[in-house]
Amino acid sequence: MATIRKLPSKRWYVEVRKLGQRKSKTFDTKLAAVKWAEEIEQTLNPEGLIQGKTVGDAFEKFRDEVTPTRKSQRSERNRMNKFLRDPIAKIPLDEVRQHHFDEWIKRSLTKIQASSVNRDLNLLSAVFREAIRWRWTTLNPIHGINRPKNPPPRDRRISDKEIEKILDALGFDGQTVTTTRHIIAVAFLFALETAMRQGEIWGLDWKDVFLDKKFVRLHETKNGTKRDVPLSKEAVRLLTLLNPKEEGKVFQSNQESSGVIFRRALQLAGIKALTFHDTRHEAITRLAQKVQVLDLARIIGHLDVRSLLTYYNSSAEEIAERLD
């Protein structure tokens, strides 16, 4: 039931109470207050759910209100926009069921790998958890869905010859940093030394770099915990090339555009099936030959040492050489 009254300010205050729920708002005119009250009363059903919402409405609200609070907001926003372009966005929330997402999985698998589909399903599940909290629905259709099987973990190694080709494509001589391409080259080599993720590297600030103590401090990491990353002599040398300061971004280039430039450098170098993230695989494999497993887990920020197997890609030939 709606209650409307005029305030001393001459504005109109309206309050709607129904099914134990309360909503209120202030308007300049009584007509606007009455119209809003009627709309609110119609959106409340016997279950206390707000009706008339689509899956796309949930995508938009999550993108605009929840995504900005999350670490991977840039890439997540792009993924939410991708969801909005899918036909599933037009389905009313009170009608969407698991079979709709079974069809979505089939469509998605024609465009992206199973591992990417599963990551998207995790995000979709988060959207529906929020929609339940907003009282837009009572159902999370992602729960219990038959997910596609992830492909085997990547085992792409980066050879010294490929590293040389990439540096040549970026025009880096190993000493002089004067262009964005040189900064990207330093970031690439730094990743191979530290096993840091791309976002961690481009998010690094000079105030968290301790060259005298040979480590950097990461405040924003994938698992949400702070970690200190030790630096090799080469890693220290690479950072020194970037003219250390008291504070400010270490890598003075845009992460997204740097990714584009790096991929073009790969094409120019004639290197295929390689991503910047493969530096993490290569670095972890190299570090595993220098430090103990628990130290390695701490360096790369893995809470479960078993997850190291995803990245550790030493060949049987390399292991055999260490046996003698």
Please tell me the distance from the alpha carbon of residue 282 to that of residue 158, in angstroms, as a whole number: 6
Q: Which residues contact 15 (CB under 8 A, 6 or more apart)?
A: 2, 3, 4, 22, 23, 24
Q: Which two tokens stand for residue 135?
A: 């009282």
Cα angle 133, 135, 141; round to 5: 75
Q: pLDDT of 32-43, one tens digit each?
A: 888 888 777 766
pLDDT at residue 250 above 90? yes
pLDDT at 232: 94
Q: How far apart are CA 171 and CA 253, in angstroms?
A: 16
Average pLDDT over residues 248-262: 94
Which distant-in-sequence residues (6+ apart) come within 8 Å of 79 by Cβ?
120, 123
Residues constituting the chain: 324
Cα dist from 5 to 8, 31, 219, whole Å: 10, 12, 51
pLDDT in the model for residue 299? 82
pLDDT tens, position by position, 87-115? 999 999 989 999 999 999 999 999 998 99
Predicted confidence at residue 220, as pLDDT, reads 76
Query: How many other CB atoms sit within 10 Å of the CB of residue 256?
Result: 11
Q: Is the pLDDT of residue 171 over 70?
A: yes
Residue 146 has pLDDT above 90, yes or no: yes
CB 186 within 8 A of CB 260: no
Is the pLDDT score of 234 beyond 90? Answer: yes
Closest CA to 265 of 164, 194, 175, 177: 164
pLDDT of residue 164: 96
Residue 34 confidence (pLDDT) = 87
Q: Which alpha helices (H) appear in 197-253, and where do they start and end?
A: 198-202, 233-240
Q: CB of 29 within 8 A of CB of 12?
A: yes
Residue 278: φ, ψ to 5°: -65, -20
Residue, of 224 and 284, whose pLDDT is higher: 284
Residue 48 has pLDDT above 80, yes or no: no
Are 286 and 233 within 8 A, CB to CB?
A: no
Is beta strand 209-210 parallel, antiparallel or unpaired with respect to 215-218?
antiparallel
Binned at pLDDT 50, 70 and 90, residue 52 comes out as confident
289 neighbors 281 (Cβ within 8 angstroms):
no
Instruction: Provide mean pLDDT across the span 42-61.
Output: 81
Per cent of the chain over pLDDT 90 is: 61
160: which strand partners? none
Q: Is 168 helix (H, G, I), strand (E, B) or coil?
A: helix
DSSP per-residue codes, 3-67: EEEE-TTS-EEEEEEETTEEEEEEESSHHHHHHHHHHHHHHB-TT-PBPS-BHHHHHHHIIIIIG
Catalytic residues: 197, 222, 302, 311
Q: What confidence tier does 298 reach under pLDDT thresholds 50, 70, 90?
A: confident
Q: What is the pLDDT of residue 175?
A: 93
- pLDDT range class, residue 74, cuts 50, 70, 90: confident
pLDDT band at 276 (very low <50, low <70, confident <90, very high): very high
Q: Is the pLDDT of residue 46 over 60?
A: no
Kindly state the percentage of the chain with pLDDT values over 70.
89
Q: How far is CA 191 from CA 85, 195, 218, 277, in A?
A: 35, 5, 14, 9
Q: Is the pTM of this model over 0.75?
A: no
pLDDT exceeds cutoff 70 at 307: no
pLDDT band at 303 (very low <50, low <70, confident <90, very high): low
Alpha-carbon span 286 to 322, nearest angstrom? 13
Do strands 227-230 and 215-218 pair parallel, antiparallel, or not at all (unpaired)? antiparallel
The structure tokens listed for 70 are: 């999350």
